Amino acid sequence: MKLETIEDLSFADLICPFCHGELSSHERALTCRSCRKEYPVVDGIPSFGQKDEYWCNVRRETMQELNNRARESGDWLKAARELIPQYVEHIEPFDRADAQYLWPVNGESRVLDAGSMWGGLAIPAAQHCGEVFAVDKTIETLAFLKIRAKQMGFRNVHIVASPVQRLPFPDGYFDLVVLSGVLEWVAFDQDVVLEIHWGKRRQDSAVYSKDPRQVQVEVLREIQRVLKRGGHLYLAIENSIGYPYLAGVPDEHMNIMYVSFLPRFLANTITRWKLNCEYRTYTYSSRGYRSLLRDGGFTDMEYYGAFSHYIQPSMIIPADLIRHWKEVAIPVHNARWYQKLAVKMFPAGLLKYSSPSFIIMAKAPGGDEPKEARIVQVLRKAGLLDGSAPSDIKVVKSGGRAGSYHAANFLIYENNDTRPACFCKVCRNNRYADILENEAKNLKTVNRLLMDTELSACIPRLLYSGNIDNISILVTQYLEGAPSKFNLNTGFTTKNLRKLDSSIQSAIRFLATFQRYTQVSEVEATPHLLSVIESQRETLNEQERLTEEVDSRIGDLVQAIEKLDGLRIPVCAVHGDYDLCNLLFSGDRVSIVDFEHFESEGLPFFDLANLIFNPIILSYTNMKTSDSLLGTIARSNLENYIGRWLALYQRLSGLPAQLLELIGPLSVMEQNTKAYPYYREPRTYPMWGETMLNELLAQRIEL
Ligand SMILES: [Zn+2]
């Protein structure tokens, strides 16, 4: 194809989706040399749809307005925040593409994101793949994606409007095709504006002639055609018999209970009656997908369970490891007793058939060389998987805070072990690679400080950090242990407090030892703390947060500090986020992870205060009581517990009681005036904010 009007050279390979003939390009259109069909080029997007179709969460007019603003302002994100703030979390963060590290692709691969919408997958994938083609039938969302890719500087994202049933690409063109949340919709031909239609009666009607499964098979065959021999389909989709749907959670497509697994004629009767539309958004069980994919021409399939949903999975687990993950995969914090009982009774072995969603890696025939997940390729290059055959390695995506700043976490299993060989953090967005680099630097320091001590096994040992193939990773040894059993959602019941007590006692023992091993010097308490408080007071003043009340409480604190005359405080390492959520418990043993905020020299009370107050404040917030925090502490048994914890710490650390009595005010001042790195939102720290500043400044514990 000769290119005159399209600036994008990557379109040179496009073909006629109907007869697969060559295309010639002229003013604002492409014409098939064989069948003479003409395809318009709209805003630089070649458009192969045979009719005007629309599928989006928001109305067409909103999308058009969004595109105009994004184009004119040069800031797509700002435009999205103004016009569709409720979907920014849907569009912007790279965490929705964490599964890309499981794709068997490399830096040269050509990937097709079929049904790309706003580019939630296409954009993050463009960081690590050679070329990404984004295809959708809705021109407005594609126009948005085109603006977004351009403004973000991705020149390897190519945008084409086309239904997935007939693709304008030659045979064997792609290494990987992504179908995420798309296959279930392909047989549904009517326009969808999700926020209008979801679960409501439709005014329009449509006559369908083809069975939905048949349409899905045809789409799979078309995808197989454009895949290279041995190329892969990445299919992310709901499980029709996933446990949420069995338990009555409405199906995601029609917003009606049970339809996903009812006999199709019955589901159809229900949607016709309730929504005035046919039931065509078929999803299947694992067996159903197997047979569907076989009919679509795929041979080998690898199954993963995605929890709690494939759109933003916190866990992606290979099918044969799922049974070991039951407790993590089905969270029951907020469940009622009978739900907890049902989960307890549920056989772990069945969980692989009933995960809420599936991620399926299906291989097209041919290409005998085994292809490994991207992350496995990277770890091999780092020299960490020497000697393991591809079939012996399994990867679990496990947690990682949401958002682009934070890393995605993976566990690597070798030799069919049920215990991970190592733990791996992958930087989601390369613009923020400095965050991982900083953590690696901290880990090196703390590894060195605790070398040859009994604590060395309780912190992650750094195995590798660096950038391989444009992917920034940090790999540590895996640490055994379970999170604290304290439940942040059930308040301060006797039983719950006992769990908190056990966790905090173990963590205090660890902390005292950690501080002893890392102590570098001592300072004189009064002059040091007075100068610290004075500069913190100044910071609050500059930020216009120094209210009269806060100022007068700082005055009280200063008086108390003056009375510490002659006392000395050790200077030692500070973890910086010594919170229950970063601690792992196994018997009496405590392990600690996440050294993002580590400092090798600081005062010992900040970690202690985080440990004690964070869970209390979080539970208190969840209780939504009108009582103050200090009131709640005084009226529950907590006051005694806090006293006992401080006494334990005092005994172990030798720190003077007069100083420990002040840890609430001292640490709340520190939390509220710290310089935070750009990637951490201070508001996410429990002790941060006006209310806690007022409350904890007044807090005193008599020891
Ligand atoms: Zn043609």
Model confidence pLDDT, tens digit, residues 317-345 = 999 999 998 888 887 777 788 888 888 88
User: Do residues 423 and 521 share a domain?
Assistant: no
User: Residue 480's beta-bridge partner residues?
Assistant: none
Amino acid identity of 371? K
User: Do residues 470 and 601 share a domain?
Assistant: no
Which residues neighbour 390 within 8 Å (Cβ) at sequence distance 6 or greater? 370, 372, 376
* Residue-by-residue DSSP string for 16-42: -TTT--BEEEETTEEEETTT--EEEEE
Cα of 32 vs centre of ligand 1, distance in Å, is 5
Cα of 319 vs centre of ligand 1, distance in Å, is 43
User: Do residues 414 and 516 share a domain?
Assistant: no
In a domain? residue 175 = no
- If you ran DSSP here, which 8-state letter would residue 353 be given? G
In a domain? residue 590 = yes
What would the pLDDT profile of 527-536 be if each residue is shown by its tens digit? 999 999 999 9
Cα of 13 vs centre of ligand 1, distance in Å, is 14
Cα of 37 vs centre of ligand 1, distance in Å, is 6
What would the pLDDT profile of 198-229 be if each residue is shown by its tens digit? 778 888 878 888 999 999 999 999 999 999 99
What would the pLDDT profile of 652-672 be if each residue is shown by its tens digit? 999 988 899 999 999 999 999
What would the pLDDT profile of 61-107 be if each residue is shown by its tens digit? 999 999 999 999 999 999 999 999 999 998 999 999 999 999 999 99
Cα of 655 vs centre of ligand 1, distance in Å, is 82
User: Residue 10's pLDDT band (boundaries 50, 70, 90)?
Assistant: low
User: Residue 33's pLDDT band (boundaries 50, 70, 90)?
Assistant: very high
Cα of 183 vs centre of ligand 1, distance in Å, is 25
In Å, how far from its chain's centre is CA 595? 19
Q: What is the pLDDT of residue 1?
A: 47
Pairing of strands 301-307, 315-318: antiparallel
The domain boundary residue, chosen from 432, 451, 477: 477
In a domain? residue 264 = no
User: Do residues 517 and 547 share a domain?
Assistant: yes
Q: What is the mean pLDDT of residues 229-250?
A: 94
Q: What's the token pair of residue 100?
A: 């890309």
In a domain? residue 444 = yes
Q: What is the pLDDT of residue 198?
A: 73
On whether the CB atoms of residues 481 and 591 are closer than 8 A, the answer is yes
pLDDT at 272 over 90: no
Q: What is the pLDDT of residue 490?
A: 87
Cα–Cα distance measured from residue 192 to residue 202, given in angstroms and rounded to the nearest whole number: 10
User: Residue 404's pLDDT band (boundaries 50, 70, 90)?
Assistant: confident
Q: Is the dihedral of CA 9, 12, 18, 22 positive or negative?
A: positive
Cα of 109 vs centre of ligand 1, distance in Å, is 28
User: Do residues 504 and 388 share a domain?
Assistant: no
Average pLDDT, the chain: 92
* Residue-by-residue DSSP string for 45-96: EEB--SS---EESS-HHHHHHHHHHHHHHS-HHHHHHHH-GGGHHHHS-GGG
Closest by Cα among 331, 372, 310, 339 to 120: 310
User: Residue 358's beta-bridge partner residues?
Assistant: 237, 305
On whether the CB atoms of residues 592 and 582 are closer than 8 A, the answer is yes
Q: What is the mean pLDDT of residues 156-175?
A: 96
Q: What is the pLDDT of residue 669?
A: 96
Closest by Cα among 109, 99, 96 to 410: 99
What are the Cα distances from residue 426, in Å, to 287, 383, 395? 32, 16, 13
Q: What's the token pair of residue 618?
A: 């979080």
In a domain? residue 142 = no
What would the pLDDT profile of 537-549 be if each residue is shown by its tens digit? 999 999 999 999 9
Q: What is the pLDDT of residue 9?
A: 56
Cα of 210 vs centre of ligand 1, distance in Å, is 24
User: What Rg, from alpha-carbon coordinates, does the chain have?
Assistant: 29
User: Do residues 471 and 503 share a domain?
Assistant: no
Specify the CATH number for the domain of residue 640.
3.90.1200.10
Q: What is the pLDDT of residue 277?
A: 87
Helix 525-542 / helix 663-673 crossing angle, nearest 10 deg: 40
What would the pLDDT profile of 483-514 be if each residue is shown by its tens digit? 899 999 888 999 999 999 999 999 999 999 99
Which residues neighbour 501 within 8 Å (Cβ) at sequence distance 6 or greater? 641, 644, 645
How much of the chain exceeds pLDDT 90, in percent?
75
Q: Which helix (H) or strand (E) holds 358?
A: strand 357-363
Cα of 365 vs centre of ligand 1, distance in Å, is 27
User: Do residues 502 and 634 share a domain?
Assistant: yes
User: Do residues 682 and 563 share a domain?
Assistant: yes
User: Do residues 617 and 658 share a domain?
Assistant: yes
Spell out which residues have Cβ within 5 A of ligand 1, the ion. Answer: 16, 18-19, 21, 32, 34-35, 37
Specify the CATH number for the domain of residue 439.
3.30.200.20
Q: Which of 44-58, 72-86, 129-143, 437-451 has the lowest mean pLDDT?
A: 44-58
What would the pLDDT profile of 664-700 be if each residue is shown by its tens digit? 999 999 999 998 888 888 998 999 999 999 999 988 8
In a domain? residue 122 = no
Cα of 168 vs centre of ligand 1, distance in Å, is 10
User: Do residues 531 and 580 share a domain?
Assistant: yes
Structural domain span for residue 412: 384-477
Main-chain phi, psi angles of 663, to 5 degrees: -65, -30
User: Do residues 460 and 505 share a domain?
Assistant: no
Cα of 551 vs centre of ligand 1, distance in Å, is 77
By CB atoms closer than 10 A (0-12, 13-18, 19+), residue 675 is exposed
User: Do residues 400 and 436 share a domain?
Assistant: yes
The domain boundary residue, chosen from 421, 451, 477: 477
On whether the CB atoms of residues 696 and 668 are closer than 8 A, the answer is yes
User: Residue 55's beta-bridge partner residues?
Assistant: 192
pLDDT at 4 over 70: no
Domain count, the chain: 3
Q: What's the token pair of residue 118?
A: 């706003």
Q: What is the mean pLDDT of residues 12-20?
A: 94
On whether the CB atoms of residues 399 and 315 are closer than 8 A, the answer is yes
pLDDT at 6 over 70: no
In a domain? residue 258 = no
Cα of 495 vs centre of ligand 1, distance in Å, is 72
Cα of 170 vs centre of ligand 1, distance in Å, is 13
What would the pLDDT profile of 414-445 be if each residue is shown by its tens digit? 988 889 999 999 999 999 999 999 999 999 99
User: Residue 3's pLDDT band (boundaries 50, 70, 90)?
Assistant: very low
Q: Is the dihedral of CA 119, 120, 123, 126 positive or negative?
A: negative
pLDDT at 587 over 50: yes
Cα of 695 vs centre of ligand 1, distance in Å, is 73
How much of the chain exceeds pLDDT 70, in percent?
99
In a domain? residue 643 = yes
Cα–Cα distance measured from residue 532 to residue 536, given in angstroms and rounded to the nearest whole number: 6
Per residue, what are the HEC states of 101-145? HHCCCCCCCEEEEECCCCCCCHHHHHCCCCEEEEEECCHHHHHHH
User: Residue 475's beta-bridge partner residues?
Assistant: 424, 464
**What three-state secondary structure class fits 528?**
helix
